[in-house]
Amino acid sequence: MPAPTVLVTGASSGIGAATARLLLERGWRVFAAARRLEAMEPLAALGAEVMALDVSDDQSRRELAEQLTAKVGALDALVNNAGYGEVGPLETLPLERARALFDVNVFGLMGLTQQLLPAMRERGSGRIVNLSSIAGRWVSPGSGWYGASKFAVEALSDALRLELKAFGVSVVVVEPGVIATDFAHVVSPSMEQSLSCSVYSSMMRAVRKSWDSVYRGASPPLEVARTIERALTDPTPSARYLCGHQSASVIASQLLPTQLWDKIVRIQMT
């Protein structure tokens, strides 16, 4: 039997790199994609087939899809992991930065899926795993746009799951909690900018303090990678898989009255 094929986006670091490594160990044929090819050299040394991808660029998505079609036809699985974050109050975060965030986290994800999905659908099998976040279920002050992008991923995944069931393609959402990646470093410039705002600086200082405290218990990326593997291999996958530090907060946010949940968040972050 040939090895099952999977594309993992955002594979240059963090969750994507950990997922690509784990799936290689489990016998998958892994295509690892990211903007920085040099950062994926360790994966290439392990046997991954590394490919360039700027998920926000339509031409880059098309070229990757064409290369994959030439290599394998229809993929067995797609792991949409590529994404990044911005932080800042909704009043002050420039809309162009919010658009850039959505270009990667939402439109890039769907643009690539649109390119790769037809071959899966025509074959009558496949699995798509979309990386969301606990921020796709509840949002803290200062992370409105990032949360909005993940809420969008949740909604799109629900629609895709319903639309593709009849074609034998499963769609699964993985919702990591607080994970030890370079996320804090990526959002650092926007955090520093928000701290200089006279109106919201005290709130953002409280947000940063809370995040610093929570990140001390962050789970390793491998924990998410194992959850992604489960999402890819469960015979009858769940619609959603929670994993990692603080992921149980999603359950609490659903069970508690909104006013009480808001109060808990405000105490910690405002």
Which pLDDT value is given to residue 216?
92
Which pLDDT value is given to residue 9?
98
The sheet with strand 126-131 has its strands ordered as 49-52, 29-34, 5-9, 77-80, 126-131, 169-176, 240-243
Does the pTM of the predicted model rise above 0.85?
yes
Between strands 29-34 and 5-9, the pairing is: parallel
Which pLDDT value is given to residue 56?
98
Structure tokens at 82: 């590529």
126: CB partners within 8 A, 6+ apart: 74, 75, 76, 77, 78, 117, 120, 168, 169, 170
Q: How does pLDDT run across 94-146, given as a tens digit for each residue?
A: 999 999 999 999 999 999 999 999 999 999 999 999 999 999 999 999 999 99
Half-sphere exposure of 120 (CA within 13 A, CB side): 27
Q: What is residue 245's DSSP assignment? A: B
What integer best gives the mean pLDDT of the chain?
Answer: 96
Which pLDDT value is given to residue 178?
96
Catalytic residues: 146
Which domains does the chain show, CATH number per domain? 5-269 (3.40.50.720)
Each residue's pLDDT expressed in tens, for the chain with a length of 270 residues: 899 999 999 999 999 999 999 999 999 999 999 999 999 999 999 999 999 999 999 999 999 999 999 999 999 999 999 999 999 999 999 999 999 999 999 999 999 999 999 999 999 999 999 999 999 999 999 999 999 999 999 999 999 999 999 999 999 999 999 999 988 788 888 888 899 888 999 999 999 999 899 999 999 999 999 999 999 999 999 999 999 999 999 999 999 999 999 999 999 898
**Alpha carbons 267 and 270: distance in angstroms, whole number:** 6
Which pLDDT value is given to residue 61?
98
